[in-house]
Chain A
Amino acid sequence: MPGQRVKGLWSGSTYTVIRQLGQGGVGAAYLVSKDDRLYCLKVSDDMISLTWEYRFIKSKGKFFLPEVYEIDDFVLNNKSKHYIILEYIEGKNLSEVIKARPVDLNTAISIVLLVTEIFIEFFKMGYIYTDLKPENLMLDLKNSALRLIDLGSLVKIGGMVREYTPVYDRAFWNCGLRRADEGYAAFEIMMFTANLLTSIDSDILYKQDVEILLKRLSGCTSQGLYGLMERAFKGQADLSDIRDGLISIHRFQYIPYAGKIDFCINVSLIMSIIFLISVIIYGL
């Protein structure tokens, strides 16, 4: 509710609500202000998930995550609630961008490559992000970067997948357990790619059969990408296979930049960002 004030029980900080930014599984996010600065305030009844998210960002802080400033309790209608204060990311949500204009193959590869880099970072820390979807990705206009905005689905490797979206979920497609392992992440990334390139309609969804999906995909993607999807869906690709595969497809398309692998990764990333920004400019 715009204009409403939220006062932290422990810190005494007061934030004024400007508008709602989004609604998720465990709570809602609001744009708020304090001392003329804008923040994102995430409210929830779920103390566990907020405490966890606060702690994770605080201890692992990465450029692709929003910064976190505060965790506190407050009282709303005589009920105790919890909030965390996050950096407000100025930009566009990927789901809005792709709704405005469907992505082409190059842009899709760029986005997926960036996502894969993020997933590899998580994997090195011992975590799997299980709810990859366009709604959780922000194109940060100020810093020209792709950033993740909801950590609710992050689980330790080997743990149970709690948050997921059926379309991207390995168990939904009968391709394996709903357990957070590297194969789960690889599957999710390539299913996300498939959904960027061809909309997976309810017809295919209902059949829950990757073979049918693959048949459909064979018409609208490059051979390299198709092979990568097939391997990920069958549990035969890990995250570095996906990164290397994507880079080689990318390199093939930008031969002038081909060179050492390290150099190539950087170039790919820079190119990706340029592409993402151009998507926004031309897409709106």
Chain B
Amino acid sequence: MSADITMRLINVVTDGCSNIGLDPCTAAGRVHKDGIIVNAIGILDGNGYKDKAVNEIEGIARSGGGVSDIVKMNELGKTLTSATMGSVANTLTEVVDKELREVLRKGLDGIHPELRFQVVDFIEKLTDEVNLRVVVVIDASGSMANKMNEAKRGVIELLKSLKGRKGDSNIALVCYPSERNEPYLLRDFTSDIDELERLIVKIAPGGGTPTAAAIEFAARLLEEKPLAYEYMV
């Protein structure tokens, strides 16, 4: 396996409670089948998490082959980063484990713990060098209004972290809902922090919560796009 590979991820930032369209977990499952990892980060109000919201957030990540987490105030950036890098490491570990099983007929579990370090070093190196294309999907529905500043800061913090890696990192930003209650593209793939910072201020929360449609929209962005398209936008 060479380090010149690109992994595709979707990070959904939401307070749960999708209320328009399909079940977002189904959408995440479908997207994951195409080799995209879907992580879900919940921003919930401090006291007493809503079970339904937590279930939805965990469900998205489970079906999407990713990591989920619920954040405290001021920690979204950190959580987004650790979910992103955690899901990348998990996926690479699975791939390496599968290869080992094919070649040695035993996986990582079958290697003595003292001797696993060589494999671990290899996975660490890949995690740092792999190229990442990440679509951050921001729930800007009415219920997110008082959490928008946190969400905006979180996305910038994520890009700051990813830029510290050896591999290339590009982030695209999808928001929902538009005036017609649909997801829309705020910024195509970029690694320019300043530009992202300027654009992100424009997000104005309000409206319903079509989370499933937003996940599918993000997946299309990661999928069949010819490279030239990036430069046209």
Chain B's closest residue to A181 (CB) is B164
Q: Are B116 and A51 in contact (CB under 8 A)?
A: yes
Query: Which segment, of B20-28, B120-128, B139-147, B177-185, faces chain A?
Result: B120-128
Among B78, B109, B166, the one with the most A-chain Cβ atoms within 10 Å of its Cβ is: B78
The bracket for how many chain B residues form the interface is: 20 to 34
Q: Are A48 and B113 in contact (CB under 8 A)?
A: no
Alpha-carbon distance A162/B162, docked complex (angstroms)? 9
Tell yes or no: A275 within 8 A of B by CB: no
A residues 163-185 in Cβ contact with B at 8 Å = 163-164, 166, 171-172, 177-180
Contacts of B85 in A (CB 8 A): 160, 162
Q: Are B78 and A178 in contact (CB under 8 A)?
A: no
Q: Are A48 and B123 in contact (CB under 8 A)?
A: yes
Contacts of A19 in B (CB 8 A): none
Contact with A along B137-170 (1 / 0, CB 8 A): 0000000000000000000010011111110000
B residues 8-37 in Cβ contact with A at 8 Å = none
Q: Are B160 and A48 in contact (CB under 8 A)?
A: no
Contact (A10, B160) CB under 8 Å given A48-B89, A48-B123, A51-B120? no
Contacts of B224 in A (CB 8 A): none
Q: Are B160 and A178 in contact (CB under 8 A)?
A: yes
Within the complex, what minimum Cβ distance (angstroms) separates B19 from chain A?
Answer: 32
Within the complex, what minimum Cβ distance (angstroms) separates A198 from chain B?
Answer: 19
Alpha-carbon distance A80/B157, docked complex (angstroms)? 33
Tell yes or no: A25 within 8 A of B by CB: yes
Query: Would you list the 9 A-B pairs with minimal beta carbon distance, nearest first?
Result: A179-B164, A160-B164, A160-B165, A178-B164, A71-B113, A171-B160, A55-B117, A51-B120, A178-B161
Binding site for B on A (CB under 8 A): 10, 25, 47-48, 51-52, 54-55, 71-73, 80, 82, 158-164, 166, 171-172, 177-180, 205
Binding site for A on B (CB under 8 A): 74-75, 77-78, 81-82, 85, 89, 93, 108-109, 112-114, 116-117, 120, 123-124, 128, 157, 160-166
Contacts A/B (CB < 8 Å), 29 sampled: A10-B112, A10-B113, A25-B82, A48-B93, A48-B120, A48-B123, A48-B124, A51-B113, A54-B113, A54-B117, A55-B120, A71-B113, A72-B113, A73-B113, A158-B166, A159-B164, A159-B166, A160-B166, A161-B161, A161-B164, A162-B81, A162-B82, A164-B78, A166-B74, A166-B77, A166-B78, A177-B163, A178-B163, A178-B164
